[in-house]
Chains A and B, each alone.
Chain A
Amino acid sequence: MRDPAALPRLLLTLLALALLWPGLSLSELNLGALFEPGNARTMGQFLGDFWPPAHEADFLALLWRATLETLAIATAGMTLALLLALPAGLLASRALSLSALYRGGRPAWWGALLRWPVRGLLIVLRSVPEIVWALLFVRAVGLGPTAGVLAIAITYAGMLGKVYAEIFESVDGGPARALLGAGASRLAAFCYGVLPNAAGEMLSYSVYRWECAIRASVVMGFVGAGGLGQQMDLSMRMFAGEEVAAMLLVFLVLVLLADQLSRLLRSRLT
């Protein structure tokens, strides 16, 4: 008895290896550079300044403002992204195809034709890294949080839209098909048939993306898009290790909080 899945699995494994190996050699990864005496000493000095983290009152006030700004950039960016990603995800997904109902799950060609432009748009939105969007917007609207918010909104709309569309397709399609088959409209079938099954996964992915948006807004701060990143850029230029350490601690707390929030929301939903 031969397992019909054996050959495809073997080929896929070989393909994965063949793709990974050149990646490793092309990236010129050289761990030895870390341990060369000169490099190690510079890094050691910088790290040595980390303790104790800065805690003067006026620095803490500055840190507090920057943290709030970072949170605001991430949250506003995510909100704008959601506004674009939800409709785009619905349009790009095959889960609500009426023609797929009676065609054994394969939508008709005209449906596929309509879905492709939306998928294409999502690909364009997320294929340009947010830092590039941020540089672009800093030129357009000037230094400050607006550039960060727009950059996050655009990139994350692409990611969320794609993942939402895939979540809609991956949950059990039976309930939505049954409702469509009883004459329900597609949006109603989505709300009653897909959403109850997809909500938990969507929520946990969105909160994770929000966490990523916090980190991204920090990175974008380095190019002048406001928040903690801009502060960190300044502190690093001044080799103020203790300030950098304080900010890293704030990151840690933010990510921890996002993680707890995700856990809380998910336990409420399941």
Chain B
Amino acid sequence: MSIQVHGVGLTHADGTRALSDVRLSIAQGERVALIGPSGAGKTSLLRLLATALRPSEGHLQLLGSDPWQLSARARQQLRRRIGLVHQQPPLPPRQRVVTAVSAGRLGQWSLPRALLNLLHPLDAAGVQAELARLDLADKLFARCDELSGGQLQRVGIARVLYQQPELLLADEPVSAMDPVLAGHTLGLLGEEAQRRGLTLIASLHAVDLALTHFPRVIGVREGRILFDRPAGEVSPAELEALYVNDQLPSREPPPSAAPLPVARC
């Protein structure tokens, strides 16, 4: 088993309850999409699985060990095997793309090698290969602040791919991309997961992307798992229950339900 989560709950430092009684088990090589309304706890769950947050109750097993039973050093070693794609990639604006991507392997490199790589990129070809698959080959030596939001997101993905983790977690990895690019990128992540046999868990806003690119879909609402089933078995009623919002003021449906006329010529 790649991931086992036993009755995990999470309360943030400010007292807000993020997750309650989450039970989950995901096998090595599975590809899973997390969907749910904003603020449902998708990011918290991913950060929990990335060992960036510690559960307030319950316990979890990641890649065969409980991260919170390990020593700090052993936990850092476990973290090398887990890659997290952040929704807003945390990249220093003045860093070059080649450095930002190669930082994915810092966990595996010795300090002298890391320092040398800072002065002169040691594996530009390897970085270039990851960028090329994300259609960013020409940005190798660009600075991060010269990139658009969508390009930056792909640099973040390239870094995690370059890290070669066994567990790949992605928090809204395509939120800043256009639909075509989003589809392509998710396809690439899925292919990569299958080829390397790694476990892929991605949270997504777009339900259709989740249903087409992932065999298994988990619906999260108010910090709890609402459903967890193969993509083909998710019913429209379940999706509606997942996203129903009592907080928004109710509004009359728009007068024309028909799709907007698109000018063709």
Contact = CB atoms under 8 A, between A and B. Distances in A.
B223 interface: no
Contacts of B13: 103-104, 106
A103 B10 CA distance: 12
B95 A196 contact: yes
Interface stretch (A23-31, A78-86, A179-187): A179-187
Contacts of A193: 90, 92, 103
B80 A182 contact: yes
Contacts of A180: 76, 79
Contact of A174 (B54, B90, B95): B90
B26 to A, nearest CB: 20
B51 interface: yes
A215 interface: no
A181 B163 CA distance: 12
B76 A183 contact: yes
B25 to A, nearest CB: 22
Interface residues of B, number: 39
Contacts of A259: none
A177 B80 CA distance: 13
Nearest to B117: A192
A258 interface: no
B97 interface: no
Contact of A183 (B12, B53, B80, B111): B80
B94 A270 contact: yes
A185 B110 CA distance: 9
Contacts of A103: 13, 54
A123 interface: no
Interface string B102-135: 0110111101001100100000000000000000
Interface in B65-114: 72, 76-84, 86, 90-95, 99, 103-104, 106-109, 111, 114
17 contacts: A175-B92, A178-B84, A179-B106, A181-B79, A182-B84, A182-B160, A183-B77, A183-B78, A184-B103, A184-B106, A185-B111, A185-B114, A187-B111, A188-B114, A191-B114, A193-B90, A197-B93
